[in-house]
Amino acid sequence: MIQDLVVYLLFIGYAIGFMLGLATLFTWVERKQSAVMADRIGANRCYIRIPFTNVRLVAWGLFHGIADGAKMLLKENFTPHTYDRFCYNLAPWLAAAPVLLVFSVVPFGGTVTPGRLLPQLHAFFGERSYLMQVASLDAGILVVLSLSGIGILGTMLAGWSSNNKFSLLGAARAASQMISYEVAMGLALISLVVTYGTLDLNGMVTRQSGLLLGFLPAWGIFMQPLAFLLFLTAAIAENKRVPFDLPECESELVAGYFTEYTAMKMGLFMLSEFIEIVVVSALLVTMFLGGYNLPYLSAGGFVLPGGASWALPHLAVVLLQVGTFAAKVILAGCFQIQVRWSLPRFRYDQLMGFGWKFLLPLAALNLVVTACVRWWTL
Amino acid sequence: MIELKIDNKMVAANEGETVLQAALRHGIEIPHFCYHPCLSIAGNCRICLVKVGGRPKLMPSCNLAVAPNMEIETDTEEVAEARRAVMRFITLNHPGECGICDKAGECRLQDYHVRYGEPEPISIEPKSRKPKFYDLSPRILLDNERCILCGCCVRFTQEVSGSHQLGIVERGSHARVERLETGAFDDPYSDNVIGLCPVGALLSRDFLYRSRVWYLEPVRSVCTGCSRCCSVNVWRRNRHWHLRALGEELNRTAYRVTPFENPEINGPWICNKGYDLHRFMARQRVLQPMIAGRGASVEEALAEARRLLSESINPAALVSAHASNEELAAFQAALGPRLAVYSREDYRPAPGEAVEDGLLIRGVKNPNSYGVQALFGHRPYGVINGHDLLLVWGDNAEDTSFDGARVIRLASFGTQQEFTADVLIPVSTTFERSGSFSNFEGKVNRFDKVFDKPELVQHAGELFGRLA
Amino acid sequence: MRKDYWNKPEMGLWERLYIFEVIRGLCITGSVFLGNMWKWLTFRKGALTAYYPEELRSDYSPNNRGRHVLTQRDNGQVQCVSCNMCATVCPAYAIEILSTANFADPCHPKAPERFEIDYSRCIFCGFCVEACPEDAIRMVKEVPDFPGFDRDRMWAGMDLLMNWRPMRDPAKHYPTPQAPLREVPE
């Protein structure tokens, strides 16, 4: 029993560290990637001077994340003249916490048997094995959908309790946009569920470990390409990032629903946006890009299509799986940033029209076709 | 009335006028250096040559009396050629250092050179050198190279001020303006030659290189030096050219004082004391209201003064001769019936100062003594009258002793320690308010505000209503 | 009813499908990213901008109007005669000159005591250089040390303007006078 506690505490620590670390990294990646795309240099003014020397450690501007954090913690905590202090203070947490929780159902590795990792651990753990996942729930996708539904509350509360026109407009836009795209996202995921026949995310990853047509990894993106596109679009819209950043577009609404937030409260909103990049990437990877699966890698080692195989120790396999997942998440996040710096923003009516008149019918069609194919193949 | 034709325009001239005067009066421009309406006609600069119908040669218009049916032409090619030639001659040895000349911007030679001269000199000879920056007097510098020998300054000392202290010595290219055998140029009207000089030969030492003239703008004011109340122009910095790095205080400084031509009172002249008016106004100021030697706010000082006034049994007021007529009226309306009023001479003639002469300077050294007398009569204050409260309005603390009476002072100049008053309220100077003075002949001369008053300083005219 | 605009885009089916055009756009930005990244990874500079304070531009046009220089005479005195032409012509009212009389040098009786240029106001039009009759003020192409934290402290004084890049080749010279100019008769 104590062994379970240790393992799950480690998993929770890894999950939180993974998300916050990657979120901080993505603030840097966003600056640097956009700079490189635009022939610029990007943020590089932060440095740490090595004590007693004049050597300045710039590290490509990596310390900007630290500087941002320090700045947000130290800034004046301005509160507007609102009559609802409670909601005003609650909103940032309501926006950030569900995003953090979503990751609990995402598997970031395959099955691990701690006792076989290192000989020293065998005495303590024995032959127990664990799925590398904080909470392995049967209703995984439902948890994801419901938690992301809570996120809407945060933005709405923030906008409403700020006592500011821009905030209220931003919140109204955020609510309608997120609810609209939630529908399309849900339909896209249902077709995926129909394909895999399970709601459990770990189950989905296991289904993607095989091969398609003998050589192609059986990833969701190959089995459900349309659902992949729909989910990607809807997820970016859920995250309220360009080209769907209507709720906080600077040119119209200053900063949208968090106009009146300062210091770390505003930082929580920003942080939740970047955590959401990580989470969306993790979900994309889990459901469509094979999760922690590396092609041709099974629990015992590599098995190539030609029949050749290469056995690996358990530790190496686990590390490969965890590393694969992290690498895939980072690449997916970079892709989101690439989208954010490439596409122009929608107009509001275009946004709504796109969600309801384009994505939703496509998702429904995809579901019908998937269901038919599934019925036919069963 | 004589009718004559100038540039094909019928012009009515007075008997005995010259053509130049008639033309200038009718807005026809004829250039002139040595002509000045208040001086005799010299006719030595030759720039005012005009074509007279029926005469073969050009005539100097400044010395040409009008005659009936004269036909004058001022803009023919012949006249223009003559002007070009005269300009060529006048500028032959002129150094052309307008860039560092204080006169530039209001220099007639500069204007005429642009309008009538030619851009390049034709002479290849080196220019003749003469003494530059020669101390004509402690107040005036003479640059002989720039002098065009029009003789205006010489004629001024001979005909207007009557001191005969200047003359032109030597001949040809050595001719220069010089003090005569009397030695010093200590004429009390000497600074007028600076403005009279059509070029930058005579320079004010006080204004030397302080500013280019186009940065300044004149404001009409009145000299407070004596009861003549001459009209003057006070030159302050134009709003567009306010300084920032060199000191904000320069924007609140009067750069120089020049006469404002007022035929009724002073004509085109003022005395040297008038030229020093800006220094008179730049003395140490009282800027802080005080109650019994301690700093106080304006409101507190006013309240204390009101209290003293209401407690007093036999109050009196000494009224400043630097007060404007408007302030006197305000005083009369607000406090006049309650107080015994005495007139006060703020300043008396300084030792060595010219007391009175036949030209401008008057013996009473305050501008509005006559305005005060007209309202309140001539009543100097004496200790014997037994007042227990005195409202002393005016400068100059080393006045009379007040024999134990409580004192409320309204003063502009001096140090705070100088005034041992129960209440001291700073009031604005002539430069900081507009109003009018009545001079010794009863003529009213108005003055405009030159600068804003400092924050704690009050306008005396607005003060009396709040004291009552 | 939506209003029709004159510049309404005409999109074919391909563009209207949106997704393919999006992918095309992503390819464009992605290729720029990869190209620049390849330069960075191979230790070349993949950006057009400069690290400003550390890296100064070296390719200023020779006609660029940068910081002012007050030229000096052979004896190290400032060439300026304080005629205020530059201050007068300056459209930004950025130049202020305090003059002083110096009769010790008979050729240059007027000299600036202070010469201040407000770089928070200067618009680098170069009028001051054109207006100067003495070749006393010039603009060089470089613009070093301009940023400041306080717009009231962006004044450059005579010391700085003369000495940050000393120039002793003014085009206009005065001959030394043969006879003393300030003779006092008697």
Could C93 and B241 be called an inter-chain contact, meaning their C-beta atoms sit closer than 8 Å? yes
Residue with tokens 């006559």: B370
Note whether C26 contacts A: Cβ–Cβ < 8 A. Answer: yes
Q: How confident is the model at residue B401 (pLDDT cuts 50, 70, 90)?
A: low
Cβ-Cβ contacts under 8 Å, C18 against chain A: 358
Could A33 and C29 be called an inter-chain contact, meaning their C-beta atoms sit closer than 8 Å? no
Contact B426, B411 (CB under 8 A): yes
Residue range B337-360, pLDDT digits in tens: 888 888 888 888 888 777 788 889
Query: Does one domain contain both B318 and B378?
Result: yes
Note whether C137 contacts B: Cβ–Cβ < 8 A. Answer: no
Does residue C183 have a pLDDT over 60? Answer: no
Cβ-Cβ contacts under 8 Å, C86 against chain B: none
Q: How confident is the model at residue B383 (pLDDT cuts 50, 70, 90)?
A: low
Note whether B128 contacts C: Cβ–Cβ < 8 A. Answer: no
Query: Does one domain contain both B348 and B381?
Result: yes
Q: How far off is chain C from A229, nearest CA to CA, in Å?
A: 9
Percent of chain B topping pLDDT 90:
57
Q: How confident is the model at residue B378 (pLDDT cuts 50, 70, 90)?
A: confident
Instruction: Choose the weakest-confidence range: A305-309, B323-327, B441-445, C151-155.
Output: A305-309
The average pLDDT across B95-115 equals 91
Q: Which pLDDT score is estimated for C179?
A: 52
Q: Which of C26, C46, C49 sits opposite A338 (nearest CB)?
A: C26
Phi and psi based region of residue A60 (left: phi greater than 0; alpha: psi -120 to 50; beta: remaining): left
CA A310, A311, A316: angle at the middle one, nearest 5?
110
Does residue C120 have a pLDDT over 60? Answer: yes
Within 8 A by CB and 6+ apart from A368, the residues are none
Q: Which pLDDT score is estimated for A311?
A: 75
Closest CA to B189 of B266, B100, B88: B266
The C-alpha atoms of residue B140 and residue A115 are separated, in whole angstroms, by 108
Could C46 and A44 be called an inter-chain contact, meaning their C-beta atoms sit closer than 8 Å? no
Q: Which of C109, C116, C133 sits opposite B246 (nearest CB)?
A: C116
The average pLDDT across B353-379 equals 87
Could C29 and A342 be called an inter-chain contact, meaning their C-beta atoms sit closer than 8 Å? yes
- Which domain range does residue B23 map to? 2-90
Pick from B227, B246, B281: which residue ends a domain? B281
Does residue B448 have a pLDDT over 60? Answer: yes
Chain B partners (3+ C-beta pairs within 8 A)? C
Query: Does one domain contain both B75 and B131?
Result: no
Neighbours of A25 (CB within 10 A): 16
Please give the residue that has the higher pLDDT: either C179 or B387.
B387
Query: Does one domain contain both B81 and B129?
Result: no
Per-residue burial over B113-138, b = 16 or more CB atoms within 10 Å of its CB, e = otherwise = beebbeeeeeeeeeeebbbbbbebbe
Q: How far off is chain B from C160, nearest CA to CA, in Å?
A: 15
Within 8 A by CB and 6+ apart from C7, the residues are none
The C-alpha atoms of residue B135 and residue B407 are separated, in whole angstroms, by 48
Cβ-Cβ contacts under 8 Å, C13 against chain A: none
In a domain, A51, yes or no: no
Does residue B399 have a pLDDT over 80? Answer: no
Closest CA to C65 of C146, C123, C12, C136: C123
Note whether B102 contacts C: Cβ–Cβ < 8 A. Answer: no
In a domain, A268, yes or no: yes
Query: Does one domain contain both B74 and B177?
Result: no
Q: Which pLDDT score is estimated for A247?
A: 80
Cβ-Cβ contacts under 8 Å, C179 against chain B: 129
The average pLDDT across B395-399 equals 68
Does residue B397 have a pLDDT over 70? Answer: no
Query: Does one domain contain both B129 and B171?
Result: yes
In a domain, B7, yes or no: yes
Instruction: Return the SS3 of B163.
Output: coil
The C-alpha atoms of residue C126 and residue C122 are separated, in whole angstroms, by 10
The CATH number that applies at residue B345 is 3.40.50.740
Residue range B28-56, pLDDT digits in tens: 999 999 999 999 999 899 999 999 988 99
Chain C partners (3+ C-beta pairs within 8 A)? A, B
- Hey, where are the domains in chain C? 13-48, 68-163
The C-alpha atoms of residue B325 and residue B332 are separated, in whole angstroms, by 10
Query: Does one domain contain both B380 and B402?
Result: yes
Q: Which pLDDT score is estimated for C184?
A: 46
To test the contact with chain B by mutation, choose from C81, C84, C85, C134 the residue with the greatest count of B C-beta atoms within 10 A, namely: C84
Q: Which pLDDT score is estimated for B235?
A: 96
Please give the residue that has the higher pLDDT: either C139 or B377.
C139
- Which domain range does residue A130 map to? 2-42+75-377
Q: Which pLDDT score is estimated for A295?
A: 76
Per-residue burial over B423-438, b = 16 or more CB atoms within 10 Å of its CB, e = otherwise = bbbbbbbbbbbbbbbb
The C-alpha atoms of residue B383 and residue B401 are separated, in whole angstroms, by 8
Orientation of helix A85-102 relative to helix A140-161, angle to 10°: 160
Note whether C46 contacts A: Cβ–Cβ < 8 A. Answer: yes
The average pLDDT across C45-67 equals 81
Domains identified in chain A, total number: 1
Residue type for C122, please?
Answer: C
Could A37 and C36 be called an inter-chain contact, meaning their C-beta atoms sit closer than 8 Å? yes
Cα distances from B278 to residues B48, B224, C171, in angstroms, run 36, 11, 41
CB pairs under 8 A between A and C: 41
Q: Which pLDDT score is estimated for C177?
A: 56
CB pairs under 8 A between B and C: 56
Residue range C74-116, pLDDT digits in tens: 888 899 999 999 999 999 999 999 999 988 877 888 999 999 9
Query: Does one domain contain both B77 and B42?
Result: yes
Query: Does one domain contain both B416 and B459?
Result: yes
Could C114 and B245 be called an inter-chain contact, meaning their C-beta atoms sit closer than 8 Å? yes
Cβ-Cβ contacts under 8 Å, C51 against chain A: 41, 44
The C-alpha atoms of residue A158 and residue A167 are separated, in whole angstroms, by 7
Q: Which pLDDT score is estimated for C178?
A: 54
Q: How far off is chain B from C186, nearest CA to CA, in Å?
A: 11
Query: Does one domain contain both B67 and B202?
Result: no
Query: Does one domain contain both B147 and B256?
Result: yes
Chains B and A touch (3+ CB pairs under 8 A): no
Domains identified in chain B, total number: 3
Within 8 A by CB and 6+ apart from B23, the residues are B6, B11, B29, B30, B61, B72, B74
Interface of C with B in 109-128 (CB under 8 A): 109-110, 114, 116, 118
Q: Which pLDDT score is estimated for B153?
A: 93
Note whether B209 contacts C: Cβ–Cβ < 8 A. Answer: yes
Q: How far off is chain C from B336, nearest CA to CA, in Å?
A: 49
* Residue of chain B whose Cα is closest to the Cα of C134: B99
Name the β-bridge partners of B323.
none
Q: Which pLDDT score is estimated for C38?
A: 92
The C-alpha atoms of residue A152 and residue A174 are separated, in whole angstroms, by 7
Closest CA to B305 of B389, B222, B379, B197: B389
Residue range B140-187, pLDDT digits in tens: 999 999 999 999 999 999 999 988 899 999 888 889 899 987 678 888
Is residue B338 classed exposed, middle or buried when 0-12, 13-18 and 19+ CB atoms within 10 A define those classes? middle
The average pLDDT across B398-402 equals 62
Query: Phi and psi dihedrals of B435, rounded to 5?
Result: 170, -155
Contact A136, A206 (CB under 8 A): no
Q: Around B120, how many Cα atoms within 13 Å sit in the side-chain half-sphere? A: 2
Pick from B251, B281, B311: which residue ends a domain? B281
In a domain, B102, yes or no: no
In this structure, chain B runs to a length of: 468
Per-residue pLDDT of chain A (378 residues; tens, 9 = 90+): 788 888 889 889 988 898 888 988 898 899 899 999 988 888 888 888 888 888 888 888 888 888 888 888 898 888 888 778 888 888 888 888 888 888 888 888 778 777 777 777 777 777 777 888 888 888 888 888 888 888 888 888 888 888 888 888 888 888 888 888 888 888 888 888 888 888 888 888 888 877 777 677 778 888 888 888 889 888 888 888 878 888 877 778 888 888 888 888 888 888 888 888 898 899 889 888 888 888 777 777 777 766 777 777 878 888 888 888 899 999 999 999 998 888 888 888 888 888 898 889 989 999 999 889 888 887
Query: Does one domain contain both B265 and B301?
Result: no
Could A39 and C19 be called an inter-chain contact, meaning their C-beta atoms sit closer than 8 Å? no
The C-alpha atoms of residue A19 and residue A274 are separated, in whole angstroms, by 9
Q: How far off is chain A from C49, nearest CA to CA, in Å?
A: 6
In this structure, chain C runs to a length of: 186
Pick from B237, B254, B281: which residue ends a domain? B281
Domain C68-163 architecture: 2-Layer Sandwich (3.30)
State the average pLDDT for chain C: 85
Q: How confident is the model at residue C7 (pLDDT cuts 50, 70, 90)?
A: confident
In a domain, A65, yes or no: no
Within 8 A by CB and 6+ apart from A367, the residues are A187, A190, A191, A194
The C-alpha atoms of residue B58 and residue B447 are separated, in whole angstroms, by 45
Q: How confident is the model at residue B236 (pLDDT cuts 50, 70, 90)?
A: very high
Q: How far off is chain C from A21, nearest CA to CA, in Å?
A: 23
Note whether C22 contacts A: Cβ–Cβ < 8 A. Answer: yes
Note whether A229 contacts C: Cβ–Cβ < 8 A. Answer: yes
The CATH number that applies at residue B8 is 3.10.20.740
